[in-house]
Amino acid sequence: MAQTEDHLHPNETQRIEAFSDGVFAIAITLLIIEIGVPHVGGGESLASALGDLWPSYGAYVLSFVMIGIYWANHHSFFRLFVRTDHYFLMLNVLFLMAIAFLPFPTAVLGEYLDDSAQRDIAVRLYAFALLLPAVGWLLVWLYANARGLVDERLAPDYIRFLTAQYLLSNALYAGALLLSFLNAWIALTIVVGLTLLYLLPPRRPRFIQ
C-alpha cells in the first residue's frame, strides 16, 4: 500500500479535474434536452402547451443549480487533496456516476410533478437521486482522510468541520427522502431549501499556522 506515499503529479490532478469538469458540464447541459418540444395540433395553443411545462422548467433550474453547486465545491475542495491513489479515482468515478444520473430523475420530476397520482413517486425518486451524490462525496472525503490524501497543513478542526458538514448534508437528504413518503411537497420544500442554503459561500479552508 505504498501507493498513498506518492505525491500527486500536478498533471494528474488536472486530468482528474478536467474529466470531472467534463462530466459536470455535460450533465448540466444535457438537462435541457430532457424537455421535449411540445407538439400542438390545429386548435391547440402553443402558449398553453409551453406553460404546461412549468414543472420541467422548475426541475431544470433546481437541478442546474444543484450540479453547479457540486461543481463549485468539487472545484474548491479538490485543491485540498495532495495525493491520489487508484481507489480514490474509482470513488470519484462513483460520485460522478451519481451526478451524471441526475438528468433522469429531473426529467421524471418535470413530467409528473403536476400529476397528483404519480407526484409522490417522482419526488421520492428525485430526493433519492439527490442523496446519491451526497453519499458519493462523503465517501470520497472519508477515504481521502483515512488514506492521508489530504493536505496535512489543513487545521484538524477544519477537517472535523467538513466531515460534520458532509454527514449533516447526508442526514438532511435522507430526511427529505423519508419525508417524501409522508408528503411530497414538504420533501420538495426541504430539497429546495437545502439548495438555497448551499448557495451561501462555503467556509474557507483554515491551515495550521
Interacting residue ranges for its own copies, rule: CB under 8 A:
3, 9, 11-12, 15-19, 21-35, 37-40, 42, 45-47, 50, 60-61, 64-65, 68-69, 71-72, 75, 79, 85-87, 89-90, 93, 96-97, 100-101, 103-104, 107-108, 111-112, 117-118, 121-122, 125, 199-202, 204
Q: In 3D, which of 3, 15, 4 has the Cα closest to residue 144? A: 4
Q: At closest approach, how far in Å is the CB of 110 from its own copies?
A: 8
Q: Which is nearer to its own copies, 33 or 182 (CB)?
A: 33
Q: Which is nearer to its own copies, 40 or 171 (CB)?
A: 40
Q: Which is nearer to its own copies, 84 or 171 (CB)?
A: 84
Q: Output phi, psi for 150, to 5 deg.
A: -90, 145
Length of the chain: 209
CA angle at residue 43 from 42 to 46, to 5 degrees?
85
Q: Which is nearer to its own copies, 7 or 86 (CB)?
A: 86
Question: Is-contact 149 82, C-beta < 8 A?
Answer: yes
Q: Which is nearer to its own copies, 87 or 158 (CB)?
A: 87
Cell numbers 505525491 label which residue? Answer: 7
Q: At closest approach, how far in Å is the CB of 181 from its own copies?
A: 12
Q: At closest approach, how far in Å is the CB of 152 from its own copies?
A: 20
Question: Is-contact 121 186, C-beta < 8 A?
Answer: no
| Nearest-angstrom CA–CA distance, 85 and 63 | 30
Q: At closest approach, how far in Å is the CB of 88 from its own copies?
A: 10
Q: At closest approach, how far in Å is the CB of 6 from its own copies?
A: 9
Q: At closest approach, how far in Å is the CB of 158 from its own copies?
A: 16
**Set of cell numbers at residue 144:** 481521502
Q: Which is nearer to its own copies, 44 or 152 (CB)?
A: 44
| Nearest-angstrom CA–CA distance, 183 and 209 | 49
Dihedral sign of CA atoms 109, 114, 115, 121 in order: positive
